[in-house]
Structure 1
Amino acid sequence: MDHSNMQQGTDLTAILLYIGIVIIAFAIAGYVLAVKTSKANTSRLKKAEKQALQKKQKSTLMIAHVLLTLAILCIGTALIQRSSSTYSIEKLNYNASIQVTTDKDFGRGHSEMPLKYEMSIPTSGTHSPHDLKFGFYAERPPYEKLVHNLEHGDIIIYYHPDAQTELLDKLRYLVNFKKAGAGVLAVPNPDVPSDQEVVVTAWTKTMQLTKFDDASVGTFIYQNINKGPEQIPPEIRRGGGTM
């Protein structure tokens, strides 16, 4: 992993937050000054002096508005960068030694009809023309749609419906990771073998784990995400569920 780039990103985020806070302070000072100017006793001032004072107030307010807008932009950009760095796919590059099965490719046709798959947990084959949003699922959607997600390079982590809270929390974290137009889904599945805690799949790829392991699952995601036979640009796919 490129730790220097990650550190630079963190430094830039902190700088943007600091700049945003400083600009907000100046904006507030501008608003306070404008309020004081509007409340000033102008009864003894001449008309020209009153007009000059009103013009000053308007200018101060305009500057304060501009500063506030800049502050929002800086802080917003910093928060977006912080969020993206939190779920940078590079964080999953554990480079762990994993055992992955390369499954038979059963094709990638489309059908609106219910389908039967040769594999108990399919990783390819004819599927629905509709896919699913990335994220954590409390109920299993149809395989027909899940296989479509695999076609687009998504990763699906299947877990037992009665999984422990600790595992579910880890899965809720992992579903935030994305790469280009592909993402991660966590799905309960009674077809997960009783002696396995999770089954992790990509297009024609399966990894079974008797015990969930952060490094193994992270490595699988890092190595296989966005490698399906049909890759959709992120600006079109927007988190899945669009095809």
Structure 2
Amino acid sequence: MVLAAVLALAAVAGAAAFLLLRGGESKAESVPQAMRAAGCTYRTFDGSGTGVHIANPAATPKEWNSFPPTSGPHYGQWVLWGEYDQPVQLARAVHNLEHGGIVMYYGSDVSDEEIAKLRSFYRSDPAAMLLSPLPRLGDKIALTGWYAPADGDEAQVDASQGILAECTRFDENAFESFRDAYRFQGPERIPPESLQPGS
């Protein structure tokens, strides 16, 4: 009888611990599923050891391991946070990613209706966000982030990853999931109040 009570108590404690651990899963762990449920692709790339500054803002370094780039060498000055009607320089936008920004690109064949949805999404919460055309994407929308998991208050730069999701249409739940998981989580942790539109 006592053994049965001890075993029952151990089972309850184990179940509670399991639920507590599951409840602590980070926002980032749910993003791949959210993106794929929306019909998007989701890929990660090694982002460690690639924060070198380059002299030419129009360059496309061979070290970039994705298109659009999600990490790597970049120009020393970032793009002012905001939404753009003309393509931004990719080497500058990578610097925005390093600061914890999310860069959303749309191709030349994305419909005006989808672009309007992207603009509305951007405007709903524009801190640390860029929205720019990137004609080469064709009918795709790309979300990019440079994620460095935290160890306390410090970013683990050596464990950083470039994150790329590509979609053919806007999906609010998926895009919110991506933004909320990776924004403000770059290798260089800049205070959110310094990442407002126009700065």
Q: Distance in 1 between matches of 2:189 and 2:124?
A: 16
Alignment of 1:92-241 (within 5 A): 97-99=34-36, 100-105=42-47, 107-113=50-56, 114-117=59-62, 118=64, 119-178=66-125, 182-192=127-137, 194=138, 197-203=140-146, 204-239=162-197, 241=199
- Provide the residue aligned with 2:24 in structure 1: none
Which has the higher Rg, Structure 1 or Structure 2? 1
Structure with the higher strand share, 1 or 2: 2
In structure 2, the residue corresponding to 1:226 is in which secondary structure? Answer: coil
Unaligned runs of 5+ in 2: 1-29, 37-41, 147-161
Q: CA 1:96–1:176 in 2, change beyond 3 Å: closer, same or farther? A: farther
Q: TM-score, normalised by structure 2?
A: 0.63
The CA RMSD over aligned residues, in Å, is: 2.6
Segments ≥4 residues shifted beyond 4 Å: 93-96
CA contact (8 A) 1:153 1:226 kept: yes
In structure 2, the residue corresponding to 1:191 is in which secondary structure? Answer: helix
- Provide the residue aligned with 1:25 in structure 2: none
CA contact (8 A) 2:114 2:169 kept: no
Q: TM-score, normalised by structure 1?
A: 0.53
Q: CA 1:157–1:238 in 2, change beyond 3 Å: closer, same or farther? A: closer
Structure with the higher helix share, 1 or 2: 1
Q: Distance in 1 between matches of 2:97 and 2:31?
A: 22
Instruction: Tell me the alpha carbon deviations over residues 164-218 of structure 1, each in whole angstroms, 9 at most, x when there is no partner.
Output: 2211211112223558xx52111111232x4x53111101001111332221112
CA contact (8 A) 1:177 1:183 kept: no
Q: Distance in 1 between matches of 2:31 and 2:92?
A: 30
Unaligned runs of 5+ in 1: 1-92
CA contact (8 A) 1:108 1:126 kept: yes
> What amino acid sits opposite 2:92 in the alignment?
K
Q: CA 1:220–1:234 in 2, change beyond 3 Å: closer, same or farther? A: closer
In structure 2, the residue corresponding to 1:124 is in which secondary structure? Answer: coil
CA contact (8 A) 1:137 1:186 kept: yes
CA contact (8 A) 2:103 2:144 kept: yes
> Could you tell me the percent identity over the aligned residues?
29
Structure number with the bigger relative contact order (C-alpha 8 A, sep ≥ 6) is 2
